[in-house]
A = this chain, B = another copy of it.
């Protein structure tokens, strides 16, 4: 089990869930992820059905913060690691955001998302795609739920004074996670492409300033 845990932690780490609301339909009662298998397919191959146990559908610890704390954004994300969710089209994650913390703009390439606030309050929103670009936002309080369409950019910001806790559900067993600023500034994109992207022509100055904040030399 520790192996599964590590694997999944490696996979999803801070804030990536698993699951996709639009995954292919299941073709049997269950296809519990076989993490020891060497077979690689779309999704994950299944363990022997005869060896499946209740623990394959179980995860504990969502009542407390977990996972690792993001160094730069202060939030933490605890993915709900359930091997039995393989082929079942959903995944979940607990997110903790301290006062002043943000879960910066990001999206899930293979899922829609819904989040319920369990504690505290957050400013939450998503943006429509081009050329609409409208912002749909709300201050969410305990007991509020907000939905994000598939693949759209969303964010949350704890601009209150209490720690905030959310439970997010995603419509894929492996929704994926893309953080916009990290992708632009921490990754391998060339400086000159980035300068042009920031509408700075051939002037890399701003790019360098920001990239230093993202740990790039």
Contact = CB atoms under 8 A, between A and B. Distances in A.
Interface residues of A, number: 137
Nearest to A34: B40
Interface in A125-170: 125-138, 141-153, 155, 157, 159, 167, 169
B29 A129 contact: yes
B153 A183 contact: yes
B41 A46 contact: yes
B4 A62 contact: no
Contact of A151 (B89, B149, B176): B176
29 contacts: A13-B131, A22-B22, A22-B89, A27-B42, A27-B44, A31-B40, A41-B46, A42-B87, A49-B132, A54-B138, A56-B136, A57-B146, A57-B147, A58-B144, A61-B143, A63-B142, A82-B114, A104-B196, A107-B178, A109-B109, A110-B150, A129-B176, A133-B183, A135-B189, A151-B178, A153-B178, A153-B183, A157-B196, A206-B209
